[in-house]
């Protein structure tokens, strides 16, 4: 069969399209795990975000798909629905399969009367379910034994039992198939980027995170031979920069240190690595871990700090992953220590904060933002966003703090909840106001490592960071709110992909 797999074009404020365009890891993994006689094409529409309609038309024409699969996050739902309508118009007999976080956790949205015709929903991990679905479609056999599948039979909806999470042992999940990608242009500051996975799952339960509902609290690693083979494959496909997409690769610090050593021993430490890290892991083990990471080629370390104020961490259920421990006892917030280790080893901090929590005041938001200004190399500051099925969503709903349900704005940097003391827009304004300057500072930090990229892209980056601002803003001839309103209007415009 001909299979077309699509990742949505909707992008995120902190991943400027000019400098960061990463492939979707799920789709290559699905492609690597279908039976080999299928012809699979993967299109990351982030690479074609200004010509989504034309690209989808062309893909359908060239690949004549029997099955089209879409990977969808919540803020991408409305784009996905439009793309499905377009595909059904172009090729009505193509079967539509949706998967990923949104279809798994808000399944009802994909089966409602308003949704376009969707044939199958793959809930949770997809490799085995998708493989079995294709086999059943080809052999025209029953679908009721495929765990993790929701499907339609006339007007009846069937939700098969959930599929237990894979233990990732014994080659059950084969390597991703990167050669199935048909669009070009992946980049991380001018270097070709790819994503790799070394484990799945997390045993924490932060209130804003979808992971617990998606797969429960567990952790399953791939063995290092597979990880190294995956890195080599990404490198052979041209990648010179790799992003580790594990849910929480630092859950097991000893394993992570061994992974760094395996990368060094395999001679793969000439690649730039970026990783999402727990502050406690770095603060508590940084003396040995941070130099090892540097030696393994790590460059950007995303820290899930979430907040530097204890009451906020309590609300986010993220206190324990931010604890610095000395001699087995708590020694306060781990953030500062973690950042010191990262900087001392010449790596850059991508600082993840969540501001605009229910108890937040102007002062508490400013305290976080001021910290970000001094400590971060690149800000990854978000507003709490009530994604389907998270404890946070239930909490915000119960307190009546959600201001609207326009899901395309649930992109993390558009405030869609108010606090008990501040309007949503005011929180967003404070974040926007300072973040532009932190990002501008980062241009210099990058210059040392990627001078040619900065020489050729600095103007475009500046225009992106300061979109909405004019010379009147910089000269103080208009209130900054005027530029902020223009920025919001541009963002709204950007969300219309087709």
**Nearest residue (CB) to ligand B12, 387 versus 483:** 387
Among 3, 80, 234, 245, binds ligand B12 (CB under 6 A): 245
Q: Pick from 3, 4, 11, 285: which binds ligand B12 (CB under 6 A)?
A: 11
Helices and strands of the chain, counted as H and E runs: 17, 19
282 binds ligand SF4 (CB under 6 A): no
Among 41, 65, 79, 102, binds ligand B12 (CB under 6 A): 102
Which residue, among 100, 310, 48, has the nearest Cα to 214 in the 3D structure? 100
Only one of the segments 206-214, 330-338, 378-386, 449-457 lies at the binding site for ligand SF4 (rule: CB under 6 A); that segment is 206-214
Please enumerate in sequence order all residues whose Cβ is within 8 A of that of 261, keeping only pairs 6 or more positions apart, or say none. Answer: 292, 296
Q: For tokens 């956790």, what's the residue?
A: 105
Q: Are strands 67-71 and 2-7 parallel, antiparallel or unpaired?
A: parallel
Give the nearest distance from C-beta 352 to ligand B12 in angstroms. 8
How far is 74 from 86, CA to CA, in rounded Å?
Answer: 19
- Contacts of ligand SF4 in 165-204 (CB under 6 A): 202, 204
**Which of positions 45-84 make contact with ligand SF4 (CB under 6 A)?**
none
**What is d(CA 205, CA 201) in angstroms, rounded to the nearest whole number?**
11
Does 304 sit near ligand SF4 (CB under 6 A)?
Answer: yes
Q: Which of 46, 56, 121, 206 binds ligand SF4 (CB under 6 A)?
A: 206
CB atoms within 10 A of CB 87: 22
- Give how many residues touch ligand SF4 by CB under 6 A: 10
Based on the shown chain and the rule CB under 6 A, indicate whether residue 301 belongs to the binding site for ligand SF4: no
Considering CB distances under 5 to 8 angstroms, the limit depending on partner class, which of ligand SF4, ligand B12, none binds residue 69? Answer: ligand B12
Binding at 206: pick from ligand B12, ligand SF4, none (beta carbon under 5-8 Å per type):
ligand SF4
What is the strand order of the sheet 272-277 is part of? Answer: 193-196, 241-244, 272-277, 298-306, 348-354, 378-382
| Cβ nearer to ligand SF4, comparing 299 with 319 | 319
**By CB under 6 A, which span of 122-130, 147-155, 400-408, 429-437 interacts with ligand B12?**
122-130
97 lies in the site for ligand B12, by CB under 6 A? yes
CA-closest candidate to residue 235, choices 194, 276, 179, 181: 194
Is the Cα torsion angle 358, 359, 362, 368 positive or negative in sign? negative
Q: In the complex with ligand SF4, which residue's Cβ is closer, 204 or 373?
A: 204
159 backbone dihedrals φ, ψ, rounded to 5°: -115, 100
367 touches 310 (CB < 8 A): no
Q: Which does 321 bind (CB under 5 to 8 A by kind): ligand B12, ligand SF4, none?
A: ligand SF4
**C-alpha distances out from residue 217 to 97, 100, 281, 321, Å:** 26, 18, 18, 15
Among 210, 322, 357, 364, binds ligand B12 (CB under 6 A): 210
Decide: is 69 part of the binding site for ligand B12 (CB under 6 A): yes
User: Pick from ligand B12, ligand SF4, none: which does 13 bind, CB < 5 to 8 A by kind?
Assistant: none
CB 416 within 8 A of CB 401: no
Q: Which of 260, 187, 203 is nearest to 227 (CA)?
A: 260
DSSP for 343-412, written as a single string: HHTT-EEEEEEE---TT--HHHHHHHHHHHHHH-SEEEEE-----TT-HHHHHHHHTT-B----GGG-SS
394 binds ligand B12 (CB under 6 A): no
Pick the binder of ligand B12 from 40, 52, 101, 297 (CB under 6 A). 101
Near ligand B12 by CB under 6 A, which window of 57-65, 209-217, 254-262, 401-409? 209-217
Q: Which of 80, 211, 365, 422 touches ligand SF4 by CB under 6 A?
A: 211
- Quick one: 74 or 279, whose CB is closer to ligand B12? 74
Q: Which does 204 bind (CB under 5 to 8 A by kind): ligand SF4, ligand B12, none?
A: ligand SF4
Q: Which residues contact 287 (CB under 8 A, 6 or more apart)?
A: 341
Residues in Cβ contact with 354 at an 8 Å cutoff, skipping those fewer than 6 apart = 208, 306, 307, 312, 316, 381, 382, 383, 384
Residues forming contacts to ligand B12 in the complex (CB under 6 A) are 10-12, 15, 22-26, 29-30, 69-71, 73-75, 97, 99-102, 105, 122, 125-127, 130, 195, 197, 202, 208-211, 243, 245, 247, 382, 387-388, 411-412
Residues forming contacts to ligand SF4 in the complex (CB under 6 A) are 202, 204-206, 209, 211, 247-248, 304, 321
């Amino acid at each position: 069969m001909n299979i077309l797999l699509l990742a949505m074009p909707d992008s995120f404020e902190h991943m400027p399209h000019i400098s960061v365009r990463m492939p979707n890891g799920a789709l290559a993994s699905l492609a690597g795990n279908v039976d080999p006689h299928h012809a699979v094409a993967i299109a990351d529409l982030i690479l074609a975000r200004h010509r989504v309609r034309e690209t989808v038309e062309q893909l359908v024409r060239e690949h004549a798909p029997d099955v089209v699969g879409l990977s969808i996050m919540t803020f991408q739902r409305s784009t996905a629905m439009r793309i499905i309508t377009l595909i059904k118009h172009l090729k009505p007999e193509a079967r539509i399969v949706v998967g990923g976080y949104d279809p798994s956790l808000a399944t009802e949205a994909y089966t409602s009367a308003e949704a376009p015709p969707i044939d199958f929903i793959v809930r949770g991990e997809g490799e085995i379910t998708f493989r079995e679905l294709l086999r059943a479609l080809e052999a025209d056999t029953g679908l009721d034994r495929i765990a993790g599948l929701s499907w339609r039979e006339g007007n009846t909806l069937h939700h098969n039992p959930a599929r237990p999470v894979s233990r990732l042992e014994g080659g059950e999940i084969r390597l991703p198939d990167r050669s199935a990608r048909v669009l070009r242009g992946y980049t991380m500051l001018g270097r070709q980027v790819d994503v790799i996975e070394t484990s799945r799952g997390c045993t924490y339960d932060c209130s804003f995170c979808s992971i617990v509902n998606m797969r429960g609290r567990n952790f399953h690693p791939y063995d290092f031979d597979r990880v190294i083979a995956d890195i080599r494959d990404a490198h052979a496909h041209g990648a010179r920069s790799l992003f580790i997409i594990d849910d929480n690769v630092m859950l097991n610090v000893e394993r992570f240190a061994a992974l760094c050593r395996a990368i060094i021993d395999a001679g793969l430490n000439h690649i730039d690595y970026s990783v999402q890290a727990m502050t406690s892991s770095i603060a508590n083990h940084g003396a040995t871990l941070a130099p090892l990471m540097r030696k393994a080629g790590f460059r950007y370390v995303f820290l899930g700090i979430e907040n530097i104020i204890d009451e906020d961490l309590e609300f986010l259920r993220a206190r324990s992953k931010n604890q610095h421990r000395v001699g087995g006892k708590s020694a306060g917030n781990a953030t500062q220590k973690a950042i010191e280790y990262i900087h001392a080893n010449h790596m850059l901090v991508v600082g993840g904060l969540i501001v605009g929590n229910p108890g937040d005041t102007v002062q508490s938001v400013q305290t976080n933002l001021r910290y970000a200004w001094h400590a971060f190399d690149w800000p990854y500051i978000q507003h709490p966003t009530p994604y389907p099925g998270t404890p946070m969503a239930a909490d915000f709903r119960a307190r009546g703090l959600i201001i609207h349900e326009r899901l395309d704005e649930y992109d993390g940097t558009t405030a869609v909840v108010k606090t008990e003391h501040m309007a949503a827009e005011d929180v967003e304004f404070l974040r926007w106001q300072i973040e532009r300057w932190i990002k501008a500072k980062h241009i210099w930090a990058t210059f040392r490592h990627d001078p040619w990229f900065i020489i050729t892209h600095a103007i475009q980056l500046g225009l992106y960071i300061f979109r909405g601002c004019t010379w009147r803003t910089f000269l103080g001839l208009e209130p900054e709110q005027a530029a902020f309103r223009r920025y919001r209007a541009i963002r709204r415009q950007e969300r219309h992909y087709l």
